[in-house]
């Protein structure tokens, strides 16, 4: 089923839209959540929460790209769950590590995690980051997104692209430095 048909079903408050959404994107959403949380059960909970959020948001919102809209919802739920786990001293992992790596590039004082997670992040910052990532080479942009959007480990990224972990770290380090310069030039840092 096409995304526009699924969105139309959700606008009509037809539960078939949720079933179709889960059938089409469920596996992808589980992967996103599991990379952040590291546990299948927690990922399942986040996907269910994200689908409920989608049900509650559509209408009035009409996402332009359903896959990205859903990924953002599940990512936010997973990061919030990770934060709760960290508060309860039950975690750590790639999401916290990725956020820490971006600390010097993202404005927001000492509470970088809030700046990354906050859905009300300024439109300028979001646009500047999109511009930055699209200006990177395809491979570097994908590596950046896999690390900082999907919270994949450096080892997973290295394996996926057939390079060493050291090479991935160099690519990410250079990208962070360029991002900082880009945001400074735009007056956002």
pLDDT tens digits, the chain, 189 residues: what are they? 899 999 999 999 999 999 999 999 999 999 989 888 888 888 999 999 999 999 998 888 888 889 889 988 998 888 888 877 766 554 445 555 666 666 656 555 444 444 444 444 456 777 788 888 899 999 999 999 888 887 788 998 999 999 999 999 999 999 999 988 888 887 766
Helices (H), the chain: 3-11, 16-37, 40-57, 66-87, 94-101, 112-117, 123-135, 138-148, 154-161, 165-185
Token pair for 44: 């399942």
**All domains of the chain, ordered by start, with CATH?**
3-87 (1.10.1740), 94-185 (1.10.10.10)
The tokens for 147 are: 């690390």
Structure pTM? 0.57
CA distance 29 to 15: 19
Alpha-carbon distance of 96 to 82, in angstroms, equals 8
Cis bond leading into 59, ω under 30°? Answer: yes
Cβ–Cβ under 8 Å, residues 63 and 25:
no
Tokens of 119: 């859905």
């Amino acid at each position: 089923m096409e995304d526009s048909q699924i969105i139309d079903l959700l606008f009509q408050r037809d539960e078939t839209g949720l079933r179709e959404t889960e059938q089409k994107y469920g596996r992808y959403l589980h992967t996103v959540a599991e990379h952040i949380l590291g546990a299948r059960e927690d990922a399942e909970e986040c996907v269910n929460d994200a689908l409920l959020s989608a049900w509650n948001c559509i209408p009035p919102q009409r996402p332009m790209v359903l896959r990205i809209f859903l990924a953002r919802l599940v990512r936010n739920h997973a990061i919030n769950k990770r934060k709760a786990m960290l508060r309860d001293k039950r975690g750590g992992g790639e999401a916290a590590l990725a956020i820490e790596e971006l600390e010097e590039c993202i404005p927001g004082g000492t509470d970088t995690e809030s700046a990354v997670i906050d859905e009300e992040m300024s439109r300028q910052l979001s646009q500047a980051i999109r511009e930055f990532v699209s200006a990177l080479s395809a491979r570097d942009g994908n590596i950046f997104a896999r690390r900082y959007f999907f919270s994949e480990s450096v080892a997973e990224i290295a394996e996926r692209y057939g390079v060493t972990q050291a090479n991935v770290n160099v690519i990410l380090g250079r990208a962070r430095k360029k991002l900082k310069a880009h945001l400074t030039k735009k007056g956002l840092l």
